[in-house]
C-alpha cells in the first residue's frame, strides 16, 4: 500500500489542490495516515481536526480521520470553524500533539487543502515534502485510533474576549464596528463573539456558504471590501473588519472608508503593545511591509525585524526571537502577547478594538497619523519555475557592490533615497513578486525603472501582473 500525490498539491506552507482534479478523499486519507505515522514516531498520538465551510470539506475531513486512526492516532474532531479555532484547540490542550485544518483559505470555491501543526510548530516546507515521500513509499504505521468530538467554540471565544478584560469599559462601549465574514468559516464564531463584545456591531454575510455568493473572501483585494465600505458609510461606523475564507487573515477600513493594509494594522498593534511594555521586544514584519512600519516600531521603542514572507516562516521566527507580535502584508497577524502566537483574524479584530480604546484614539485618527507613502500593489508575473530563484540570485550578484542598501532576507529588497523596491520568488507559484514604495511619484517611477532594468539584465520582463 502506498499513495502518490499530484506534485502540484505539496506546497511550501500547506497542501492545496482542486477538488476532482488534483485533490480527492484518497489524498486526505493518505495525509492522515502519513502525518499520523510521523507524529507517532515523534512520540505523539492525538490530533485535533477541523474544517472550513467549503462544500468538499466534510468528505475530506471524514477521509482524513480514517487515515489518522489507521495510523494509530486518536482524532479529536472540533467541527466546522475558522482555522484559528483549530489552532486554539491544539495550543490550549497539552494532551493534543498536532492539528490539521481542512481549508482552501482564500482560493476559489473548487479548491481545498490542509494546514498542519506538529507538536506545537508549523508543519511546512521539508515536512510536507517528507510526507509526500513517505506516502509514496508506503512508510505507514498501523493501529486503531479512537475518535472523539469536542466543542471548543465557547472556550475559544472566551479566550478572545479576555483581551478586553483590563480596558476601560466606557471607551469600548462607544465603539461602533462593522464586520464582514464573507460567507466564510468564521461567520458562526463571529456571531457568538460580538454578542460578548461591548459596543455596537453590524454584521455582513455570516452564513457559511462554500460558493461565496456575495464576494470572494480575500480581504487583501480592495474590491472585496466594497460591501463593508458601504456598511460603514451608511451607518457612520468607526471602522470595519473583514476576514478571509478560513478566518486567519484580516482586512480593515477606517471610518472614512480607507483601507488599512496589513503593515498599517501592525503599526496600530505595535503602538498599543509597546506603550504597555517596559522592554524593547522584537516586532516582526515581512519584506513586503512599508518602511513606515519599521520606523514606527523603532519610534515606539520596539526592535523591528524584517523577515521572510510566509505564515509558517514568521511563526517559526517568532518562537526563535521571543517576539510578542508579527504580521504580514497579506493580513496574517500573530499575537504571542497574551495569546498563542498563531494567526487569528477574529482575535486581531478584538485587538483593534482594544488598541483604539487603550490609546484613546479612533482608528480613523490612527490611520490619518500614518505617513502618506506612494506604493505599488503587489505585482506578480509569470516566470518559468526553473528560472525564478536563479534570477533572484543573479540580481543579488549584480547588486553586491551597489551603493544602495541591499537586503537579501527574502529575495532582494533595495533601499535608497527614493524609497525601496522588492523582487522575490514566490514559494508557492511560478511567479516573481515585485513591490516598490516612495514618498513621491517621481521616486516611485525611478524605483520601478530599477526593477525593470534588473529583470531585463536577466532576460525577463515585468509583463502582465497575474493573480494569486
Question: How far is the C-alpha of 34 from the C-alpha of 31, rounded, in Å?
Answer: 5
- Average pLDDT value for residue range 298-316: 95
Of the three residues 151, 176, 208, the one that is the final residue of a domain is 151
Q: Are 352 and 193 in contact (CB under 8 A)?
A: no
Q: What does pTM read for this prediction? A: 0.95
Given pLDDT bands bounded at 50, 70 and 90, which one contains residue 465?
low
Asked if residue 184 lies in contact with residue 177, where contact means CB atoms within 8 angstroms, the answer is: no
Which residues have CB under 8 Å from 417's CB, separation 6+? 443
Share of the chain above pLDDT 70, in %: 99
Which active-site residues does the annotation give? 105
Q: How many CB atoms lie within 10 A of CB 215?
A: 20
Q: Are residues 379 and 295 in the same domain?
A: no
Boundary of a domain, candidates 84, 118, 151 = 151
* 232 in the same domain as 354: yes
The stretch 45-54 carries a mean pLDDT of 97
Q: Which residues contact 395 (CB under 8 A, 6 or more apart)?
A: 412, 423, 454, 457, 458
Eight-class DSSP state of 427: S
Q: Are residues 334 and 435 in the same domain?
A: no
Tell me the H-state helices in 360-404.
Answer: 363-368, 385-398
Q: How many residues does the chain have?
A: 468
Sequence-distant (6+) residues with CB within 8 A of 173 are 198, 199
CA distance 281 to 464: 41
Question: Do 136 and 233 share a domain, yes or no?
Answer: no
- Same domain membership, residue 416 and residue 353: no
Q: What is the pLDDT of residues 87-139, one digit of tens each?
A: 999 999 999 999 999 999 888 889 999 999 999 999 999 999 999 999 999 99
Question: Would you state the pLDDT for residue 454?
Answer: 96
117 & 219 share domain: no
On whether both 93 and 175 belong to a single domain, the answer is no
Contacts of 133 (CB under 8 A, 6+ apart): none
Residues 401-460 have pLDDT tens digits of 999 999 999 999 999 999 999 999 988 778 999 999 999 999 999 999 999 999 999 999
339 three-class SS: coil
Within a domain: residue 2?
Answer: no
Asked whether residue 59 is assigned to any structural domain, the reply reads yes
User: How many other C-beta atoms lie within 10 A of the C-beta of residue 253?
Assistant: 28
Q: Indicate if the pLDDT at residue 378 is higher than 90.
A: no
**What are phi and psi for residue 432, nearest 5 degrees?**
-100, 145
Q: How far apart are CA 234 and CA 253, in angstroms?
A: 14
Per the structure, how many domains does the chain have?
Answer: 3
151, 170, 190 - which closes a domain: 151
Query: Could you tell me if 338 and 401 lie in one domain?
Result: no
Q: Domain span at residue 452?
A: 374-457
Note whether 176 and 300 are same-domain residues.
yes
Q: Judge whether 9 lies within some domain.
A: no
Q: Are residues 129 and 177 in the same domain?
A: no
Query: Apex CA 351: angle with CA 261 and CA 273, to 5°?
Result: 90
Q: Does residue 4 lie within any of the structural domains?
A: no
CATH classification of the domain holding 135: 3.40.120.10
Question: In the prediction, which pLDDT does 108 show?
Answer: 86
List the beta strands (DSSP E) in 1-107: 15-18, 46-51, 74-80, 98-102
Give the pLDDT score at 468. Answer: 42
Distance between CA atoms of residues 32 and 63, nearest Å: 8
Could you give the CA distance from residue 176 to residue 13 in angstroms, rounded to a whole number? 36
232 and 160, same domain (yes or no): yes
Q: Count Cβ atoms within 10 A of the Cβ of residue 344 and give its class: 0-12 exposed, 13-18 middle, 19 or more buried.
A: buried
CB atoms within 10 A of CB 274: 22
DSSP 23: B
For the cut 70, the answer to whether the pLDDT of residue 466 exceeds it is no
23, 49 contact by CB (below 8 A): no
CATH number of the domain that residue 393 is part of = 3.30.310.50
343 and 195 in a common domain = yes
Question: Cα separation of 145 and 289, whole Å?
Answer: 45
Amino acid at each position: 500500500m502506498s499513495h502518490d500525490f499530484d506534485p502540484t498539491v505539496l506546497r511550501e506552507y500547506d497542501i492545496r489542490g482542486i477538488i476532482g482534479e488534483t485533490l480527492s478523499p484518497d489524498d486526505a486519507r493518505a495525509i492522515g495516515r502519513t502525518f499520523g505515522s510521523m507524529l507517532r514516531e515523534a512520540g505523539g498520538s492525538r490530533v485535533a481536526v477541523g474544517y472550513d465551510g467549503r462544500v468538499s470539506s466534510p468528505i475530506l475531513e471524514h477521509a482524513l480521520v480514517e487515515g489518522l486512526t489507521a495510523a494509530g492516532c486518536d482524532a479529536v474532531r472540533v467541527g466546522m470553524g475558522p482555522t484559528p479555532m483549530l489552532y486554539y484547540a491544539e495550543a490550549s490542550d497539552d494532551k493534543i500533539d498536532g492539528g490539521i485544518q481542512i481549508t482552501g483559505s482564500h482560493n476559489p470555491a473548487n479548491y481545498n487543502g490542509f494546514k498542519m501543526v506538529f507538536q506545537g510548530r508549523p508543519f511546512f516546507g521539508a515536512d510536507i515534502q517528507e510526507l509526500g515521500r513517505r506516502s509514496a513509499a508506503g512508510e505507514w504505521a498501523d493501529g486503531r485510533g479512537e475518535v472523539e468530538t469536542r466543542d471548543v467554540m465557547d472556550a475559544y471565544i472566551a479566550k478572545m474576549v479576555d483581551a478586553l478584560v483590563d480596558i476601560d469599559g466606557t471607551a469600548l462601549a462607544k465603539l461602533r464596528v462593522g464586520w464582514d465574514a464573507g460567507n466564510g468559516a468564521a461567520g458562526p464564531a463571529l456571531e457568538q463573539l460580538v454578542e460578548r463584545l461591548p459596543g455596537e456591531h453590524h454584521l455582513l454575510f455570516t452564513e457559511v456558504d462554500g460558493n461565496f455568493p456575495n464576494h470572494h473572501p480575500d480581504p487583501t483585494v480592495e474590491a472585496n471590501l466594497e460591501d463593508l465600505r458601504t456598511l460603514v458609510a451608511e451607518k457612520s461606523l468607526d471602522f470595519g473588519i473583514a476576514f478571509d475564507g478560513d478566518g486567519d487573515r484580516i482586512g480593515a477600513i477606517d471610518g472614512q472608508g480607507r483601507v488599512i493594509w496589513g503593515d498599517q494594522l501592525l503599526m496600530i498593534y505595535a503602538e498599543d503593545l509597546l506603550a504597555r511594555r517596559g522592554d524593547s521586544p522584537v516586532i516582526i514584519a515581512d519584506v513586503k511591509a512599508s518602511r513606515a512600519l519599521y520606523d514606527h516600531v523603532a519610534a515606539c521603542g520596539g526592535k523591528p525585524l524584517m523577515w521572510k514572507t510566509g505564515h509558517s516562516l514568521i511563526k517559526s521566527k517568532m518562537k526563535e526571537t521571543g517576539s510578542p507580535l508579527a504580521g504580514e502584508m497579506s493580513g496574517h497577524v500573530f499575537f504571542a502577547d497574551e495569546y498563542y502566537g498563531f494567526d487569528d483574524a477574529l482575535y486581531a479584530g478584538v485587538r483593534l478594538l482594544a488598541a483604539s480604546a487603550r490609546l484613546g484614539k479612533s482608528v480613523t485618527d490612527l490611520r490619518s497619523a500614518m505617513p502618506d507613502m506612494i506604493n505599488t500593489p503587489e505585482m506578480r508575473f509569470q516566470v518559468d519555475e526553473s528560472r525564478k530563484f536563479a534570477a533572484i540570485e543573479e540580481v543579488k550578484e549584480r547588486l553586491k557592490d551597489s551603493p544602495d542598501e541591499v537586503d537579501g532576507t527574502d529575495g532582494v529588497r533595495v533601499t535608497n533615497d527614493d524609497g525601496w523596491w522588492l523582487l522575490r520568488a514566490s514559494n508557492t507559484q511560478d511567479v516573481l513578486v515585485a513591490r516598490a514604495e516612495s514618498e513621491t511619484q517621481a521616486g516611485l517611477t525611478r524605483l520601478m525603472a530599477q526593477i525593470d532594468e534588473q529583470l531585463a539584465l536577466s532576460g525577463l520582463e515585468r509583463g502582465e501582473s497575474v493573480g494569486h
